[in-house]
């Protein structure tokens, strides 16, 4: 998708002015947070499992070459194919080549953020194929020609009423007076529409939550079972996954799965956890005839070697955005590209460039709630700060901020001058503000006073008063 | 009395730039509380700011310079105490990382870090203070500043000490642990988003029913007080140290001075 991350502030402003979106986002605040807290509290070893899960990722990334090669060997041994793709374009080309070779028309898709990252749907459509999203949320936003606004709940920005209107407009095959006001009605209707699509599909494309080196398997977790129908019914199953999804073995999988669903939705386990290992074998009752894995780098090996390595621990549970007050205020679309929220603020500049996405790692109050709930303990604020450091080094930080910082640092590094000059300023401000106790407007403080008053200082500084109390004169 | 619980200690008060410039009465409340807890308090004049604005804006060089300046100013004290979770966390959690590759300074940063505390948690956790001799009539609600809460684990301590204040009742607001939208330079760089966040926070404060808002972080308090005033909500904002020290004669944050 085309990024609008460069107009983040405008996107955010528009989002905050949308009352429908604000209502939808209230559901994020009330739903996900309480459910995760309850699920974590019910499991005494939850914190220990977070540590163990993190350790698995640390170990795997330390030996990524070894595990990727082992994974490939085992995929091949099971009769599958692995396509190593450096860029999004390589990955799109590899998928297209397979689809064209088998003469695909309808391509069903399980929910996959990587497919969003490489803009696969647009590409397949341009080549005359019909990609059909089969996850309910993804299906809804595909009808609306929108990107997902959340990594596990792509249509979380929508209310039930909005979805009903979309269904009435898109599904003209059903009676106009049918009941559609309840979630159940919407689910049943989507299911009815999608069922025929599953049977028509020539190729099924899924993402992967994990790739298992030991067995050459890909693993998806879903709540709707759509992923299974996507990958089992068509003749060809294509898995699109980025290379940091690999973990050593099924034991590690069971450890991380215990924190994944709890962190994401507060479920103990997702409804479906599906392990696929290669194409259909002669003794299997069903399954695809061809099994392909598109193994995508797209900038990740760069991050493996720099200060952003820990972002590769992410298991895409969405807990960081579920708990983020900035996300709650603006929703996912304002971030302007595929990955919203705190993880997007770190990942997006790494994938599309800090010049394009510079606002994202800055748009955080560093409240730290994301890090406190991340099952993999990714230090998201620290990584956002690293992006700010890169911006500052490259002089991409906006000029007013740079000059303001420089002036302030000049003073702060000279205590005597600092105390004298700011002491004087506070006495002036204190005298001016004493009657009202606050300022509705101050020069150079528009960012503050546009929305709030500026409390007046008390007058003399602590240092001045302390010197008086010590019986010495302030220098 | 606390004096009997712990031996006297030399405490360097890291006043913080906001308290120094905007609200020195918080500094004197801190001094009173520390002295009551058996500490000898000094406030070195060579201190200015801990460097958070530079650090969080990606300006490592200035942040490092201010870290070195602060370390020099406070070496030699038994403890460094700040009436702010974020400034204490800056010294305690971030100075060692900031100077880790500086052979001459990394050990000094480490030594200072482990001796640095936020005021209320210092009183509770280090000095063993379980109550104060203050009086405050009315209901208060307490906002957990993010750095203090999540970097230093400060949550129970201020509530425990507030419970000992005569006449005071604590009415919790919903989402007390959610950011108020201050975030240092964030609140001016992303003014509109910050405004939505502080708007949500004001709604939470109102739900508590309390007429006084307390917190341990002056930046957050100025943000919330400024929004309370702008929207005409009748809630006064004070630093928790003012109430614990029984020093609430000064007008609350953003309130008129009278003359």
Of B65, B189, B197, the CB nearest to A362: B189
Could you report the predicted ipTM of this complex, rounded to two decimals?
0.96
Instruction: Sort out which chain A residues have CB atoms less than 8 A from B21's CB and list them.
Output: 422, 426, 457, 461-462
Angle at A138 between CA A289 and CA A303, to 5 degrees: 80
Phi-psi domain of A119 (left: phi exceeds 0; alpha: psi -120 through 50; beta: other): left
Q: Count CB neighbours of A469 within 10 A.
A: 12
**Substitution target from A455, A469, A475 for chain B, most B beta carbons within 10 A:** A455
> Are the C-beta atoms of residues B85 and B144 closer than 8 Å to each other?
no
Q: What element of type H or E holds B137?
A: strand B135-143
Tens of pLDDT along B34-77? Answer: 999 999 999 999 999 999 999 999 999 999 999 999 999 999 99
Output b/e per residue, A16-48; b: 16+ Cβ within 10 A. Answer: beeeebbebbeebbeebbebbeebbeeeeebee
Delimiting residues of CATH 3.40.50.10420 domain(s) in chain A? 43-301
A412 exposure class (CB count in 10 Å sphere: 0-12, 13-18, 19+): buried
- Supply the mean pLDDT for chain A: 96
A184 exposure class (CB count in 10 Å sphere: 0-12, 13-18, 19+): exposed
Selected residues 453-472 of chain A with any CB under 8 Å from a CB in chain B: 453-458, 460-467
Confidence of residue B4 (pLDDT cuts 50, 70, 90): low
Instruction: Sort out which chain B residues have CB atoms less than 8 A from A390's CB and list them.
Output: 58
Q: How far is A137 from chain B (nearest CA, A)?
A: 27
Of B45, B57, B253, the CB nearest to A405: B57
Q: Fold for A43-301, please state it.
A: Rossmann fold (3.40.50)
Q: Reply yes or no on whether the pLDDT at A475 is more than 60.
A: no
Tens of pLDDT along B188-240? Answer: 999 999 999 999 999 999 999 999 999 999 999 999 999 999 999 999 999 99
A412 interfacial to chain B (CB closer than 8 Å) = yes
- CA–CA separation, B212 and B139 (whole Å): 7
Alpha helices in A247-379 (DSSP H): 250-264, 300-304, 319-322, 325-330, 341-352, 354-357, 359-362, 369-373
Q: Reply yes or no on whether the pLDDT at A186 is more than 80.
A: yes
Residue A246 in tokens? 């690999």
Residue A361 in tokens? 């790692």
Domains of chain B and any CATH numbers: 2-125 (3.40.50), 131-244 (3.40.50.11810)
Q: CB–CB of B256 and A329 under 8 A?
A: no
Tens of pLDDT along A290-325? Answer: 999 999 999 999 999 999 999 999 999 999 999 999
């Amino acid at each position: 998708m085309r990024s609008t991350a460069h107009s983040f502030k405008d996107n955010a402003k528009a989002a905050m002015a949308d009352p429908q979106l604000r209502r939808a986002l209230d559901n994020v605040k009330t739903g996900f947070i309480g459910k995760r807290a309850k699920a974590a509290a019910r499991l005494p070893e939850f914190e220990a499992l977070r540590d163990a899960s993190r350790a698995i990722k640390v170990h795997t990334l330390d030996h990524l070459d070894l595990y990727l090669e082992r994974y490939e060997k085992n995929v091949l041994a099971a009769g599958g194919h692995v396509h190593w793709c450096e860029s999004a374009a390589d990955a799109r080309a590899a998928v297209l080549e397979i689809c064209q070779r088998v003469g695909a028309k309808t391509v069903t898709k399980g929910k996959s953020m990587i497919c969003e990252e490489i803009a696969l749907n647009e590409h397949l459509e341009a080549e005359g194929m019909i990609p059909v999203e089969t996850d309910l949320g993804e299906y809804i936003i595909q009808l609306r020609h929108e990107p997902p606004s959340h990594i596990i709940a792509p249509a979380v920005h929508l209310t039930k009423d909005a979805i009903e209107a979309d269904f009435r407009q898109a599904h003209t095959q059903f009676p106009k007076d049918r009941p559609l006001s309840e979630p159940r009605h919407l689910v049943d209707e989507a299911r009815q529409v999608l069922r025929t699509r599953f049977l028509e599909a020539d190729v099924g494309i899924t993402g992967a939550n994990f790739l298992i080196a030991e067995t050459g398997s890909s693993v998806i977790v879903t709540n709707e079972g759509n992923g299974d129908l996507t990958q089992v019914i068509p003749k060809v199953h294509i898995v699109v996954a980025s290379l940091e999804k690999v973990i050593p073995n099924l034991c590690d999988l069971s450890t991380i799965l215990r924190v994944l669903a709890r962190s994401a939705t507060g479920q103990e386990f997702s409804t479906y956890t599906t392990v696929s290992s290669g194409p259909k074998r002669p003794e299997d009752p069903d399954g695809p005839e061809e099994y392909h894995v598109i193994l995508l780098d797209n900038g990740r090996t760069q991050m493996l070697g720099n200060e952003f390595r820990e972002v590769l621990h992410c298991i895409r549970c969405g807990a960081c955005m579920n708990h983020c007050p900035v996300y709650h205020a603006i929703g996912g679309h304002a971030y302007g590209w595929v990955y919203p929220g705190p993880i997007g603020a770190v990942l997006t500049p790494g994938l599309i460039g800090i010049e394009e996405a510079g606002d994202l790692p800055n748009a955080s109050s560093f409240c730290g709630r994301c890090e406190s709930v991340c099952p993999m303990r990714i230090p998201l604020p620290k990584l956002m700060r690293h992006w700010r450091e890169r911006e500052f080094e490259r002089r991409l930080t906006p000029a007013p901020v740079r000059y303001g910082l420089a002036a302030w640092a000049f003073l702060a590094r000279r205590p005597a001058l600092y105390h004298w000059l700011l002491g004087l300023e506070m006495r002036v401000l204190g005298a001016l503000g004493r009657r009202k106790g606050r300022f509705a407007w101050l020069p150079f403080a528009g960012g503050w006073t546009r929305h709030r008053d500026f409390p007046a200082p008390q007058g003399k500084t602590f240092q001045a008063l302390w010197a008086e109390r010590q019986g010495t004169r302030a220098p | 009395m606390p004096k009997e619980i712990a031996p006297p200690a030399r405490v360097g008060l890291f006043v913080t730039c906001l308290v120094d410039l905007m609200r020195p009465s918080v500094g004197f409340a801190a001094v009173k509380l520390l002295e009551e807890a058996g500490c000898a308090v000094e406030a070195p004049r060579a201190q200015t700011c801990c460097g958070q604005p530079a650090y969080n804006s990606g300006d490592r060089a200035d942040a490092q310079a201010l870290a070195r300046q602060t370390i020099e100013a406070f070496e030699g004290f038994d403890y460094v105490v700040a009436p702010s979770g974020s400034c204490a966390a800056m010294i305690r959690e971030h100075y060692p990382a900031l100077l880790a590759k500086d052979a001459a300074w990394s050990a000094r940063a480490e030594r200072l870090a482990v001796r640095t505390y936020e005021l209320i948690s210092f009183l509770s956790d280090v000095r063993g203070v379980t109550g104060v001799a203050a009086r405050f009539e009315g209901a208060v609600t307490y906002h957990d500043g993010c750095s203090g809460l999540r970097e230093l684990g400060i949550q129970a301590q201020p509530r425990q000490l507030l419970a000992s204040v005569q006449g005071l009742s604590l009415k919790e607001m919903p989402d007390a642990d959610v950011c108020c939208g201050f975030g240092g330079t964030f609140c001016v760089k992303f003014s509109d988003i910050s405004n939505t966040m502080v708007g949500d926070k004001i709604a939470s404060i109102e739900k508590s029913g309390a007429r006084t808002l307390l917190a341990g972080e002056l930046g957050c308090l100025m943000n919330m007080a400024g929004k309370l005033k702008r929207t005409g909500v009748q809630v006064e904002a004070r630093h928790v140290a003012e109430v614990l020290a029984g020093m609430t004669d000064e007008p609350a944050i953003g309130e008129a001075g009278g003359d």
